[in-house]
Amino acid sequence: MTTTTGTARITATATDEFVEALRAHSRRYHDQHPFHVRMNAGRLSRRQIQGWVANRFYYQENIPRKDAAILSNCPDVEVRRRWIRRIVDHDGSAADEGGIEAWLRLGEAAGLTREEVLDHRHLVPGVRFAVDAYVTFARTRPWVEAVASSLTEMFAPDLMAERLAAFERWYPWIDPEGLAYFRSRLTQAPRDCEHALEVVTMHCLSAESQAQAIDALAFKCDVLWSLMDAIDKAYPE
């Protein structure tokens, strides 16, 4: 006969294995991309850094749209109450606040004008395609899968810390005040990840739903990798 304690132990083990399977995707995270490796080693030119900042902005400005899509599909009011903080983090509560504004200031610190970042004149097709695919995924897939796709945030704090140190060491021509976005994500990403992981482990209890969540995270890793491929091709060594 299976005891309640025994059932709980089996459930906990299954959850741990599920979370470990999610974390295993760190090996596919875009910090392993050759362009990122060169960035953190101080091997990128000013033009390459500027190209990365300008193109990555398209991803940054679409994050609130992705999160709004998740909110629109989510029937759980408690999840919505917490998830909406992500939109406020990026859009801000005023014109001079939020992650999008912080990224624009990074662009200015890197020598780009605000206008040339906002009007997408440097945006390459592959980046647009990858980011649009991500927003479409969040809009059209079940909301729990869309939440699972955000779990790349499990790997983000280490990446942000490494990136911040690399920029301060190798790219002193960038005004340090322009690196505020990276600093803010050191605390926001772990908070957001904790909530997303809580949602996914609570709702993905069957083998099928867990496989779908893992596939969603794999898709997000592919989006970020494809984004880096497009930038790498547009701004070669």
Domains recognised in the chain with CATH numbers: 29-234 (1.20.910.10)
pLDDT at 13: 83
H/E stretch holding 21 = helix 4-23
Q: Report whether 154 contacts 26 (CB < 8 A).
A: yes
| End-to-end Cα distance, the chain | 65
Separation between Cα atoms, residue 161 and residue 31, nearest integer Å = 12
Reported pTM: 0.93
Average pLDDT of span 166-175: 97
Half-sphere exposure of 56 (CA within 13 A, CB side): 21
Say if residue 4 is exposed, middle or buried (CB neighbours under 10 Å; 0-12, 13-18, 19+).
exposed
pLDDT at 5: 55
Q: pLDDT (tens digit, 9 = 90+) per residue, 65-81?
A: 999 999 999 999 999 99
pLDDT tier, 158 (very low <50, low <70, confident <90, very high otherwise): confident
Q: Are 26 and 217 in contact (CB under 8 A)?
A: no
pLDDT at 165: 95
Beta strands in 96-218 (DSSP E): none
Q: What is the mean pLDDT of the chain?
A: 94
The tens digit of pLDDT for each residue in 115-156 reads 999 999 999 999 999 999 999 999 999 999 999 999 999 988
CA dist., res. 186 & res. 161, Å (int): 7
Dihedral sign, Cα of residue 154, residue 155, residue 161, residue 164: negative
